[in-house]
Structures are given as C-alpha cells and as structure tokens.
C-alpha cells in the first residue's frame, strides 16, 4: 500500500527538493524517521538558521528549497527569516508540523494555530483538508513558490503521513512551464522611449536574476550609466563595469539630485524607488520619465512609473538590446573603455573602486583597523567568481565602494533589513555551490543572530569564510541615536563577547585578527584555496567604529 509519506517523497524528488533543512520536533518524527537514502537531511540548531540556510541554497540556484519546521515554536522562531526570504524573492517550500488530526478539536499539547502565524509573508499557506491532499499541496507549494518567488507553507498533521494514498489524484500538474518571451510589438512603447532619450539611465535590482548578461548588452547599446538599487538583495549589474554608477541614495532629496541629469530612467528588476527615512517631495524631478520592467506583480502595481512592464527582465532586456540601435554615447563609451583601467584595476593600484582617490592603502602602524582597511584587503584577493554575503550595516557603504560585485552573486544581502541572514545564508550558498568560493562579511552584532549555523557549517564540512567585523556594539543604532538628538542611547556595548570562542564552541575554527599584518597574513593564507576548502573558518577581526559613518 502506498502511503501519503511515500507519495510526498515522490513529489519532492520530482521537484528537486531532496535536501531537507530542519530542526526537528516531535510532530515531524513520523515524516523524518527512516528517511530514504536519496533524501538528504541537514540539521540546523535554530529555525532561523533552517530558513536562512534554505534561502542561501535557493539563491544558489537550487530552487525551490525545502525547510521543515516544528509547529508553533518552529514557525514562530522562523518568521523573521521567512519575511527576509519573501523580500529577497526566494522560492521556498516550508513544511510545518501539526498535532494529530484526530484530536485537533481538543487542542492537545503542541497544537498550533498556524494559518496566520507568518502573516502576509508567505505566498501561500495551505492546511490540507484530508491527509490524501498533502502530496498535491506540496506540489502546488513548489509551483507557487517559483511563480511568486517566495515561501509557500504547508501544514501537515503528524498522523497524515501513514494514511493510505492508493489510487488518489495529486491536485497539481507534474510539470508547469512558464514561457517568458515578449512580443516586439508589446515593447514598441519602451523602444520608442529609450531611442528618443537624450540622457537615459538604468537602475538595476536584485530581480535582474538571469538577465545579468542581457542587461549588460542593453546598457552598452544605450551607452548609459547603471545604478544599483538601494537595499537590494543582489547585485543587478557588474560593478567593475565602466558604466556602473554606484548605489542609489535611499532618501528622496539625494535621489532627485542623483537622477536630475537624466530624462529617462529605466528600472530593471527593482522597485521605483526603494527608500529608507521619509523625506517630502517627489522621487524624481519634473520632466524625468520613469519606466519599469519587473516580473514581481506587487512591485509593478505599487511603483509610480510612467510605463511599467510585468514581464521577465531577462527576456525584455534581451529583445531591447536587439531592437535598439547603438547610440552615439555607446560608440564613444566603447572607445573610452578601451583606454581606461577598470575600477578593479584602480583598486588594485591603491585607489577605491569607482573613484580616483580614497583612504590610504593600509592603516598606519599601531593604529586600529577600520572596516575599510579590512574590505580593501579582501577586495584585492577576492576571486572573480566569489559569492559575497553582506550583513554589516555600519560598513555597507564601504563595502559597496571597495568590493565591486563582478557576478550576480558577487553581492548578496538581506533585502528585509532584519539581522540573522548572513551566516546561515552563506552556509546554504556554499552547499548549493560547492565549487565557488563563498565569503560572508558580517558585523558581530549581526552574526550573533545566526551564529548557530556555524555548527551546521562545521558538521557538514561547508568551507565558507566568515569575516566578522567586530566592534562590540550596534554602531548603526548608536549613530541613529546621536542623529535623533533625544539623549544618550540606553543600550550598552557588548565588548565582552568573544566571537572566536563562540565559533570554536560550535566546532568552527576561528582566528583572532587585530593588526594589519595579521589581517593580510590571514587572507593570504586562506584565500588562494577558498574554492576547495572543506571546513569553515571565522576571522574575528577587531575594528574601530568609523567616526564619519552615516546610516
């Protein structure tokens, strides 16, 4: 007799969800005990790390990823990570355990009121009416997660797994195709707009995804600058490209100034335009026409654009690059690019990426390390294909300035803004991409939210490098309190925390770095073999707070 459990395993195999990220509870034991050998179980020590690791796995191209959570306690602990996965547009299927269906009406111990616990962040929440509906619900969750690019939850009572499934119908297609072609006639308004622009610009966002090369071709054909969206979860354009113009400001005043020179601004895979602190006034100056290309419906519906396309950014950019003629700007730009060094070359020569001047190449002997010193030395050694995960809010401006993303995974961050993403996401990314070097640059405050994932990295021999910029405080919060002017912040520093000791207690090797020579020696030792490394390493780097930092 075929059981619901066996039918679900077939669904998981068909959808490529054969790695289960999990922190188990009693309601999941009937599913997990005696797991078939072709299904891989990955243990994380906290549910935030379960979803964070699955998120990294999915970002690395293993989509949709599968996470298994334990009723209210597990789902509740993971809600922040689920929100991050939704904002990062990452397809996840999350299976949540529930008490035995046969006495749910009596609300026994571990009964979960699970339907709305994660709020509006899941793209779908399904609580199957019958045990026999579970395989179809999981198949549909896989389809919905990929279609809407977010987490889809399925709640399964613990007694459902052994229920019979013989002769049942799985209420989901075995295959679901998503044709992404766009008709030339539909693109005519955008072609006309861009062809007639005197000074166009592009804003690239995390939603560019597989359209990276197509967007480069379009930008080169237009000969225009390309900005990175603010607070984006991934790089949308190569940041060592001569046309890269930096990260857009996250406040309206500076945004208007930055875009004032352009008559047409095309946002690709990015909202129009993501902000942080409120400031009055329009997003752009009068006379600037804004167009948008995105495959995210809510992004298209809320963006104050003059022209919006709900379509695949990759498909649109590829056709636009074929339909638009080369502009005079593009011809001139190609001639200049042949003569100018790239930003990475300038960085290697001792200058900051994308500029002609910057801080000195290294700190003065005897002075404490600054975050910029660490990032500059990392950038000089970082392989071109490295995956870099960022979660260091007080050092993010320096990272954007000094460490250009040269592939679409050259910058990966949490679009939500909450902490706890960096460490587990780096573990999941390295598991999904075992042949690529993975580096996580995280603040010590950020690392403490997801440090449990270091145990998983050590146990499963995940050779990622974790560079912890340790200043013993929440530097962003300190500076925000100073700017607010409402008096002294009540929270203390946490300089007693020893990141290296915590890492070693979780089985992860760690090295303390508190000097420039120690930093360069550590990076010179680890970086050449990072792609083939089989164990994690944490560098606990003591840094001083940058007095000029502004959040």
* Chain segment 208-257, per-residue pLDDT in tens: 988 899 999 999 999 999 999 998 899 999 999 999 999 999 889 899 99
Fold for 343-542, please state it. Rossmann fold (3.40.50)
Q: How far is CA 424 from CA 118, 384, 446, 455, 541, in A?
A: 20, 22, 11, 10, 19
Alpha-carbon span 206 to 408, nearest angstrom: 8
Write down the pLDDT at residue 192. Answer: 94
Phi, psi of 395 (to 5 degrees): -115, 5
pLDDT of 346 above 60: no
pLDDT of 31 above 70: yes
Residue 59 burial class via C-beta count within 10 angstroms: exposed 0-12, middle 13-18, buried 19 and up: buried
104 and 111 Cβ atoms separated by less than 8 Å: yes
pLDDT of 334 above 80: no
Which pLDDT tens digit goes with each residue over 368-404?
899 999 999 999 999 999 999 999 988 889 999 999 9
Alpha-carbon span 488 to 463, nearest angstrom: 42
Alpha-carbon span 146 to 125, nearest angstrom: 14
437 and 466 Cβ atoms separated by less than 8 Å: no
Domain boundaries, the chain: 4-162, 184-337, 343-542
Fold for 4-162, please state it. Rossmann fold (3.40.50)
Please give the angle made by the CA atoms of 155, 61 and 142, to the nearest 5 degrees.
Answer: 25
Alpha-carbon span 406 to 344, nearest angstrom: 9
Sign of the dihedral through C-alpha 207, 211, 212, 218: negative
Write down the pLDDT at residue 276. Answer: 84
* Helix, coil or strand: residue 307: strand
**Global pTM?**
0.90
Class of domain 184-337 as given by CATH:
alpha beta
Q: How far is CA 520 from CA 148, 378, 414, 541, in A?
A: 44, 9, 28, 11
Alpha-carbon span 429 to 91, nearest angstrom: 14
Alpha-carbon span 270 to 285, nearest angstrom: 19
Q: How far is CA 77 from CA 72, 349, 416, in A?
A: 8, 46, 16
CB proximity list for 361: less than 8 A, separation 6 or greater: 350, 376
């Amino acid at each position: 007799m075929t059981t619901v459990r066996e039918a679900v395993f077939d669904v998981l195999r068909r959808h490529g969800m054969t790695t289960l990220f999990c922190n188990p509870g009693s309601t999941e034991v009937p599913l997990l005990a005696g797991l078939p050998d072709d299904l891989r179980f990955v243990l994380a020590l906290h549910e935030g790390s379960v979803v964070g690791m699955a998120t990294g796995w999915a970002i690395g191209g293993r989509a949709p990823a599968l996470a298994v959570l334990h009723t209210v306690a597990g789902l509740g602990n993971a809600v922040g990570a689920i929100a991050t996965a939704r904002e990062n547009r990452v397809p996840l299927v999350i299976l949540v355990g529930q008490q035995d269906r046969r006495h749910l009406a009596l609300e026994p111990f571990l009964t979960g009121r699970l339907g709305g616990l994660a709020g509006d962040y899941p793209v779908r929440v399904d609580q199957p009416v019958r045990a026999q509906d579970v395989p179809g619900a999981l198949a549909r969750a896989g389809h919905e997660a990929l279609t809407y690019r977010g987490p889809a939850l399925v709640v399964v009572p613990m007694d459902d797994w052994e229920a019979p499934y013989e002769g049942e119908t799985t209420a989901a297609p075995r295959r679901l195709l998503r044709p992404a072609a766009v008709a030339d006639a539909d693109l005519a308004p955008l072609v006309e707009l861009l062809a007639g622009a005197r000074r166009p610009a592009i804003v690239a966002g995390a939603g560019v995804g597989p359209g990276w090369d197509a967007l480069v071709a379009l930008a080169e054909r237009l000969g225009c600058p390309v900005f990175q969206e603010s607070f984006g979860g991934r790089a949308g354009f190569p940041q060592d490209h001569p046309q890269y113009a930096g990260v857009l400001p996250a406040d309206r005043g500076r945004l208007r100034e930055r875009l004032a020179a352009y008559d047409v601004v095309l946002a690709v895979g990015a909202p129009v335009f993501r902000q942080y602190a409120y400031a009055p006034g329009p997003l752009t100056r009068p006379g600037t026409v804004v167009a948008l290309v995105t495959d995210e419906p809510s992004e298209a519906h809320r963006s104050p654009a003059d022209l919006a396309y709900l379509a695949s950014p990759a498909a649109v950019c590829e056709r636009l690059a074929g339909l638009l003629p080369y502009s005079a700007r593009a011809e001139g730009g190609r001639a200049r690019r042949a003569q100018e060094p790239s930003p990475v070359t300038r960085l290697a020569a001792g200058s900051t990426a994308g500029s002609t001047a910057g801080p000195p190449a290294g700190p003065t002997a005897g002075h404490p390390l600054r975050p910029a010193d660490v990032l500059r030395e990392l950038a000089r050694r970082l392989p071109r294909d490295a995956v870099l995960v960022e979660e260091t809010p007080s050092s993010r401006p320096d990272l954007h300035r000094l460490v250009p993303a040269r592939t679409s995974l050259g910058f990966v961050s949490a679009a939500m803004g909450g902490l706890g993403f960096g460490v587990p996401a780096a573990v999941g990314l390295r598991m999904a991409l075992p042949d690529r070097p993975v580096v996580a640059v995280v603040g010590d405050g950020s690392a403490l939210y997801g440090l449990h994932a270091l145990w998983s990295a050590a146990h499963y021999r995940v050779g990622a490098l974790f560079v912890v910029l340790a200043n013993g405080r929440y530097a962003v919060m300190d500076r925000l309190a100073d700017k607010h002017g409402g008096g002294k912040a009540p929270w203390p520093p946490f300089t007693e925390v020893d990141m290296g000791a915590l890492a070693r207690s979780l089985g992860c090797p760690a090295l303390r770095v508190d000097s420039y020579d120690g930093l360069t020696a550590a990076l010179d030792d680890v970086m050449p073999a990072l792609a083939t490394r089989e164990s994690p390493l944490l560098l606990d780097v003591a840094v001083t707070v940058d007095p000029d930092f502004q959040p």
